Structure 1
Amino acid sequence: MPSREDWKRMVGPILRGTALGSALGILPGGGAMLLTLGIPSNPVMALMIGALIIQGIQPGPAVMTQQPALFWGLIASMWIGNFFLILLNLPLVGMWAKMLTIPYHILFPGIMVFCSIGVFSLNNTSFDVYLMALFGVLGYVFAKLKCEPAPMLLGFILGPMMEQNLRRSLTLSRGDPLIFLQSPISATMLIIALIALLLVLLPTFRKTREEAFVDED
């Protein structure tokens, strides 16, 4: 356990970090994009938007007026969460650190038990548990194939939204795809997306070309 001198040295940085983190955390970022635009900025936000859609809540500009309790409740939960994190982390920091030393063969069954209990408690049916196990196996296969879950999850959430807005735009333009280049904002975003795609693909092509030349030599 930390000594009294350790606590004296830690209290200042902990409070300062908490204050700065809380202030910076409420600035427009991933959470603001999720609530105002309905765009997840990372896999965690994608899970949140998926949960909201399942509950019949469509994140977007109207969420503050149509779901004010949800919006302000989420804002309040951030502050309350930070407060309780202080209460839990300060006295229990030693216990959290010791949890890292638990062997994986002991920790993994415990995680599986709690996951199964949580899934079963939703509808009180074993089918949900089997479904969870199936997706767990699929996740293991994807991990072995080195398939990143984040792009797939973002595509799963953003795919239907993109298709819906694509059909809407083509309907307004009577099937003319040049509508996406008529707006400067749309054209700029498409160019940025194309450049980003090229930056990702070019190293792969270059590596393949170098390997081909090495094989020929």
Structure 2
Amino acid sequence: MSTHDGPILTAHRAGLVGCRSCGRVWPEGEAICQRCGAELLPPDRRCLNAVWAWLVAGFIFYIPANMFPMLKTSTLGGIKGSSESTILGGVVDLMHYGNYGVAAIVFIASIIVPIAKFVSISWLALVAGRPATVSAAHKRLHLYEVVEFIGRWSMIDVFVVAILSALVQLGFVASIHPGPAAVSFALSVAFTMLSAQSFDPRLIWRGLPLRSRKD
């Protein structure tokens, strides 16, 4: 025996288009949002081309960000030696000196979060517009909101390098300089943020059935 709920009416099926800037919905004939002045565009799967392009660019830069040094340190002008640390090498050094909390933060923000973002955005782009239940659509939307929220926190490594480079400049005695990985990591984070922003969350609701069925 099966029962049917009422039809699932979305803005698209109601002949409305939502503004991506402020969220207000307008009739499809409108071209400009009267609330915020943004251009009104209907959901279009072609926006996924930009999502994939930015995501691939971010992944390309993420590879050298982990292979090259993030930080270069020299003591007494290099007489006492100099050292270079990658992201993962910095985590190991922090653990070696007993800074487990900081090591965990850097590892999560610089390794776990970026990889999770690559996987999440890829999955959202693959399932965009495909059939989904209301519950599945809400889960996809929540995942998208989480990706957008945590995106900025992936820059923690770059912030640490910038602060240390500004503070630890003792001339001949000691100096810290950002390594080539810092630029690659910053670009990777920026490109993945652009990828997430290029994704149109309205596509999540395009795959909903006209009716939900409970068996």
TM-score by length of 1: 0.26
Structure in which a larger fraction of residues adopt helix: 1
Structure in which a larger fraction of residues adopt strand: 2
RCO greater where, 1 or 2, for CA within 8 Å and sep 6 or more? Answer: 2
TM-score by length of 2: 0.26
